[in-house]
């Protein structure tokens, strides 16, 4: 039954108005796992397709991405410094002090020592030598199905560039980065060789060549290439029997060395270890990594031994030159001795003054010792005064040689000269070390040049002062010697002549014997070769460092295949503004959802009726049916709800409160009609004569009429239209005080 409205009068007090109950809103969790599971179930086909796609992409990634491994070895750095045992023990005690207190006092930590050696072993010059020795500047890659696999020691052909142009490639850097690329294709007809020259970013394709068999020679602007078949074992050659496509690249050794340096690690295992280092290389081929590390340590040892032997070689060169000169002088002294004996016709001279002879012999021995020192001093001065030796090592072993042997008398002076010579040699060694990595015009080298030049006058002056002291000592001894020689007045002239000749012979022989001794000592130093770096653990492959890890990539692909679509759907849900499902409705409000209408409207209306009656309290009989937008289905639900209540024997009245849809007479405004006394009286009459009164209202979003009608209602049925009603409208419904006892119906 529908109530007709013909008269209007104002009497709002007759209506029983109930204040709506405001329900508290619970905080929505950041991640709704129930919703995630719902997304997984509802979109499982899309997720399966995403997983398959991601796994396929992972296989493509694994196929085209070069796999790398890390090769690691452990090396002991042998300290060759001549520290005393007491000093070594003291430094060890300092380094063992707690909290690292003694590390700074004791000359630095182990990490600092390793850092210093790292600068040497990872210098571009040293690594370039390794690259050249192993010919790592030539790279071979097997091309198959788009994948380029690095080959090392199992390449089917060997490509060699002439040595002159290998050096030329480095000489052109950094202005021009030349590269030579070859594509060698082997099939049943022979070999197809396609060369390309690369200058920076520009590539110049050269005419291809076909040869039936190798070797072959190709001449290019960047050098002459020789291609020959590599000698492989049967197992190594088997993959290439059906033909192959090989990509060969020849790059400047210095540039290749920079790449290896960037991938090489050199560090101390811990801060407490001063003489151990872990050396590693990340590379595509573990055999190449092992060879590289072994050859790098060998080159490091060779460099250290060359530096160690440089001073010994200089000393050996100096001693050999002086031995040749002394040998000639000894020959003339022996000839003079023999001729003097022949002239005087004597065999053995005798002296008649035993005391004088004894004293004369003592001073004569001193004259021989001083003469020996003067001779050595003059040889060393001659070497120092030579401008060609300004930046050369001075043979410090000869300074004060006679003094150290007990024959000289100027030990303190010789020690002073030795200190200056050691200072000069230290500057020269530092200059030579710098020249290995910088040019002669660098500020560091120029400063060292000035230091050496400034030290040279001081060294010359010290040598001159030392010689003056020796001459003064010789004069004193000669006076004493002359005094005792004068006492032998009866000796013939031949004795003086023979004595002078004998003394010169003894001086020459003393110098000669000393030089022979120094040559033997130098030869022993050269023979005593000890490597500075010694492997404790030979390079091995760290299997855990293999990249990319196939299992992890595939697991990540599966995870990504699941999470991407679910994340996308979840984000869509989060930023979605409209209601589609009952679950979404439950997430935004805690108001009771008493029914969901779908295609089977009959059963849904019965469910709505049952849940409505259960939610209504005693005495509540007026229900307002409203929604936010026109076309949400509120009139349909109001009509069918009334019919359903009537079907179970309830007296139900439907009042059309949507005055906007009626043609009102007398120019009345719909809002005035709803608030009029006649409408109020008719609602009151319907309530008194019926079990339930259903009021159909206009849309809340269009007019305020529904809020006026809410004053007559005990409860509100709010109709939410799937895909149309905004979430914000549902949220505001719970906090809106104008609608009594709101309950929600989802119209799908």
Instruction: With CA atoms as reference, report the closest residue to 180 among 77, 251, 129, 102.
Output: 251
Using a CB cutoff of 8 Å and minimum separation of 24, what contacts does 206-213 make? none
Q: For position 442, what pLDDT does the model report?
A: 87
Tokens linked to 451: 């230091």
| pLDDT greater than 50 at residue 87 | no
User: Which residues 6+ apart lie within 8 Å of 26 measured at CB?
Assistant: 590
Residue appearing with tokens 């439950």:
586
| pLDDT greater than 90 at residue 290 | yes
Residues 154-204 pLDDT 10s: 999 999 999 999 999 888 887 788 899 999 999 988 999 999 999 888 888
Element of type H or E holding 62: helix 44-64
| pLDDT greater than 50 at residue 17 | no
pTM above 0.75, yes or no: no
Residues 210-250 pLDDT 10s: 999 989 999 988 889 999 999 988 898 888 988 999 999 99
Residues 451-475 pLDDT 10s: 888 888 888 888 888 888 988 988 8
Q: Rounded to an integer, what distance in angstroms lies between the CA atom of residue 628 and that of residue 578?
A: 12
For the domain spanning 12-25+589-747, the CATH number is 3.40.50.300
Q: Rounded to an integer, what distance in angstroms lies between the CA atom of residue 235 and that of residue 682?
A: 104
> Of residues 173 and 52, which shows the higher confidence score?
52
Residues 379-418 pLDDT 10s: 888 888 888 888 888 886 666 554 443 444 445 556 667 8
| pLDDT greater than 90 at residue 259 | yes
| pLDDT greater than 80 at residue 333 | no
Q: Rounded to an integer, what distance in angstroms lies between the CA atom of residue 59 and that of residue 584?
A: 38
Tokens linked to 449: 């040049």
Cα dihedral across residues 302, 306, 308, 313: positive or negative: positive
Tokens linked to 457: 């006058």
> Of residues 295 and 513, which shows the higher confidence score?
295
> Is 305 in contact with 102 (CB distance < 8 Å)?
no
Tokens linked to 388: 């060609």
pLDDT band for 487, please (50, 70, 90 cuts). low
> Is 578 in contact with 723 (CB distance < 8 Å)?
yes
pLDDT band for 562, please (50, 70, 90 cuts). confident
> Is 543 in contact with 68 (CB distance < 8 Å)?
no
**Cβ-based neighbour number of residue 421 at 10 Å:** 24
Instruction: With CA atoms as reference, report the closest residue to 405 among 369, 432, 371, 367.
Output: 369
Q: For position 705, what pLDDT does the model report?
A: 81
CA distances from 454 to 394, 420, 440, 448 (A): 16, 12, 18, 10
Q: Rounded to an integer, what distance in angstroms lies between the CA atom of residue 319 and that of residue 317?
A: 6
**Cβ-based neighbour number of residue 595 at 10 Å:** 25
Q: For position 82, what pLDDT does the model report?
A: 45
pLDDT band for 144, please (50, 70, 90 cuts). confident
Q: Rounded to an integer, what distance in angstroms lies between the CA atom of residue 89 and that of residue 110?
A: 16
| pLDDT greater than 70 at residue 692 | yes
Instruction: With CA atoms as reference, report the closest residue to 159 among 143, 177, 178, 140.
Output: 140
Looking at the DSSP assignment, which residues form a beta bridge with residue 535?
Answer: 75
In 113-222, which ranges are E strands?
A: 138-144, 147-151, 157-161, 178-187, 190-199, 202-205, 209-211, 216-220
**Cβ-based neighbour number of residue 555 at 10 Å:** 12
CA distances from 337 to 223, 362, 495 (A): 68, 22, 12
Q: For position 33, what pLDDT does the model report?
A: 63
CA distances from 672 to 659, 708, 709 (A): 10, 10, 12
CA distances from 718 to 2, 53, 127, 710, 730 (A): 21, 45, 80, 12, 9
> Is 720 in contact with 744 (CB distance < 8 Å)?
yes
Q: Rounded to an integer, what distance in angstroms lies between the CA atom of residue 129 and that of residue 161?
A: 16
> Is 532 in contact with 78 (CB distance < 8 Å)?
yes
Average pLDDT rounded to a whole number, residues 12-39: 48
Read off φ and ψ for residue 324, nearest 5 degrees.
-65, -40
Angle, helices 411-435/286-344, rounded to nearest 10 degrees: 140
> Of residues 671 and 69, which shows the higher confidence score?
69
| pLDDT greater than 50 at residue 673 | yes
Instruction: With CA atoms as reference, report the closest residue to 679 among 1, 17, 14.
Output: 14
Three-state SS string across 281-292, please?
Answer: EEECCHHHHHHH
CA distances from 199 to 22, 208, 649 (A): 79, 19, 97
> Is 136 in contact with 287 (CB distance < 8 Å)?
no
> Is 156 in contact with 257 (CB distance < 8 Å)?
no
| pLDDT greater than 60 at residue 628 | yes
Cα dihedral across residues 277, 282, 287, 288: positive or negative: negative
Q: For position 10, what pLDDT does the model report?
A: 28
Element of type H or E holding 225: strand 223-229
CA distances from 497 to 358, 367, 489, 717 (A): 19, 16, 14, 146
Instruction: With CA atoms as reference, report the closest residue to 582 among 742, 718, 717, 722.
Output: 722
Q: For position 45, what pLDDT does the model report?
A: 84
Tokens linked to 314: 């200089």
Average pLDDT rounded to a whole number, residues 140-157: 90
Length of the chain: 748
> Of residues 356 and 609, which shows the higher confidence score?
609
> Of residues 734 and 193, which shows the higher confidence score?
193
Cα dihedral across residues 527, 533, 537, 543: positive or negative: negative
pLDDT band for 6, please (50, 70, 90 cuts). very low
Q: For position 83, what pLDDT does the model report?
A: 42
Element of type H or E holding 597: strand 593-597
Three-state SS string across 127-156, please?
Answer: HHHHHHHHCCCEEEEEEECCEEEEECCCCC
Residue appearing with tokens 């003393």:
510
Instruction: With CA atoms as reference, report the closest residue to 139 among 161, 108, 162, 117.
Output: 161
| pLDDT greater than 90 at residue 86 | no
Q: For position 194, what pLDDT does the model report?
A: 93
Read off φ and ψ for residue 213, nearest 5 degrees.
-150, 160
Average pLDDT rounded to a whole number, residues 10-22: 35
Report percent pLDDT > 70 for the chain: 78
Quick one: residue 400, left, alpha or beta (phi over 0 = left, psi -120 to 50 = alpha)? Answer: left
What are the residue ranges spanned by the domains of the chain? Answer: 12-25+589-747, 124-287, 310-533
User: Which residues 6+ apart lie within 8 Å of 105 measured at CB?
Assistant: 94
Q: For position 646, what pLDDT does the model report?
A: 93
> Is 283 in contact with 63 (CB distance < 8 Å)?
no
Average pLDDT rounded to a whole number, residues 716-742: 85
Cα dihedral across residues 325, 329, 331, 332: positive or negative: positive
Q: Rounded to an integer, what distance in angstroms lies between the CA atom of residue 312 and that of residue 395?
A: 8
Average pLDDT rounded to a whole number, residues 347-368: 69
User: Which residues 6+ apart lie within 8 Å of 427 measured at CB?
Assistant: 448, 451, 452, 455
């Amino acid at each position: 039954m529908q109530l007709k409205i013909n008269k209007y009068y104002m009497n709002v007090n007759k209506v029983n108005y109930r204040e709506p109950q405001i329900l508290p809103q619970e905080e929505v969790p950041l991640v709704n796992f129930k919703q995630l599971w719902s997304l997984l179930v509802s979109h499982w086909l899309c997720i399966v397709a995403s997983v398959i796609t991601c796994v396929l992409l992972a296989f493509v990634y694994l196929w085209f991405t070069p796999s790398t491994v890390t090769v690691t070895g452990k090396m002991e750095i042998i300290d060759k410094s001549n520290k005393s045992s007491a000093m070594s023990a003291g430094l060890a005690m300092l380094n063992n002090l707690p909290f690292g207190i003694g590390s700074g006092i004791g000359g630095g930590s182990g990490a600092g020592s390793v850092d210093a050696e790292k600068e040497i072993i990872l210098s571009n010059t040293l690594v370039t030598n390794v690259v050249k020795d192993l010919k790592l500047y030539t790279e071979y890659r097997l091309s198959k199905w788009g994948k380029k696999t690095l080959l090392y020691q199992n390449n089917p052909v060997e490509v060699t560039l002439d040595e002159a142009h290998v050096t030329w490639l480095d000489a052109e850097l950094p202005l021009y980065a030349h590269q030579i690329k070859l594509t060698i294709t082997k099939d049943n007809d022979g070999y197809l060789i396609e060369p390309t020259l690369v200058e920076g970013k520009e590539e110049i394709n050269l005419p291809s060549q076909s040869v039936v068999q190798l070797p072959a020679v190709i001449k290019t602007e960047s050098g002459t290439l020789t291609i020959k078949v590599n000698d492989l074992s049967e197992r190594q050659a088997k993959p290439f029997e059906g033909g192959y496509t090989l990509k060969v690249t020849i790059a400047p050794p210095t540039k290749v060395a920079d790449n290896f340096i960037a991938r090489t690690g050199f560090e101390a295992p811990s801060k407490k270890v001063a003489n151990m280092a872990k050396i590693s290389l990340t590379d595509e081929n573990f055999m190449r990594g092992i060879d590289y590390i072994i050859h790098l340590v060998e080159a490091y040892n060779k460099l250290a031994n060359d530096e160690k032997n440089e001073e010994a070689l200089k000393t050996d060169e100096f001693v050999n030159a002086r031995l040749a000169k002394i040998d000639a002088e000894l020959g003339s002294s022996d000839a003079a001795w023999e001729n003097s004996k022949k002239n005087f016709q004597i065999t053995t001279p005798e002296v008649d003054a035993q005391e004088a002879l004894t004293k004369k012999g003592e001073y004569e021995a001193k004259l021989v010792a001083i003469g020996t020192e003067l001779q050595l001093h003059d040889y060393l001065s001659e070497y120092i005064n030579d401008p060609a030796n300004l930046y050369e090592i001075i043979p410090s072993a000869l300074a004060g040689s006679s003094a150290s042997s007990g024959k000289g008398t100027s030990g303190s002076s010789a020690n002073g000269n030795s200190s200056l010579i050691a200072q000069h040699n230290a500057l020269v060694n530092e200059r030579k070390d710098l020249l290995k990595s910088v040019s002669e015009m660098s500020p560091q080298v120029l400063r060292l040049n000035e230091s050496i030049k400034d030290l040279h006058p001081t060294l010359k002056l010290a040598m001159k002062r030392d010689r003056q002291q020796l001459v003064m000592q010789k004069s004193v001894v000669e006076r004493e010697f002359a005094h005792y020689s004068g006492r032998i007045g009866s000796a013939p002239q031949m004795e003086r002549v023979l004595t002078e000749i004998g003394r010169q012979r003894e001086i020459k022989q003393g110098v000669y014997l000393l030089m022979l001794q120094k040559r033997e000592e130098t030869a022993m130093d050269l023979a005593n070769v000890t490597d500075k770096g010694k492997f404790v653990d030979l390079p091995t492959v760290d299997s855990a460092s293999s990249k990319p890890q196939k299992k992890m990539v595939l697991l990540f692909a599966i995870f990504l295949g699941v999470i991407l679509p679910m994340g996308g759907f979840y984000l869509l849900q989060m930023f979605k503004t409209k209601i589609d499902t009952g679950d979404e409705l439950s997430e935004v409000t805690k108001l009771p959802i008493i029914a969901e209408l779908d295609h089977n409207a009959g059963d849904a209306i019965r469910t709505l009726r049952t849940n409505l009656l259960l939610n209504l309290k005693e005495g509540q009989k007026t229900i307002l049916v409203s929604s936010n937008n026109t076309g949400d289905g509120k009139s349909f639900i109001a009509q069918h709800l009334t019919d359903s209540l009537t079907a179970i024997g309830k007296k139900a009245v439907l009042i059309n409160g949507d005055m906007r849809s009626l043609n009102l007479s007398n120019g009345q405004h719909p809002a005035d009609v709803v608030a009029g006394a006649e409408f109020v009286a008719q609602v009151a009459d319907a309530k008194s004569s019926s079990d339930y009164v259903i009021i159909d209202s206009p849309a809340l979003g269009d007019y305020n009429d529904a809020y006026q009608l809410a004053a007559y209602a005990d409860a509100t049925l709010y109709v939410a239209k799937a895909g149309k009603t905004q979430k914000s409208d549902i949220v505001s419904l719970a906090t809106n005080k104008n609608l009594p006892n709101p309950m929600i119906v989802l119209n799908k």
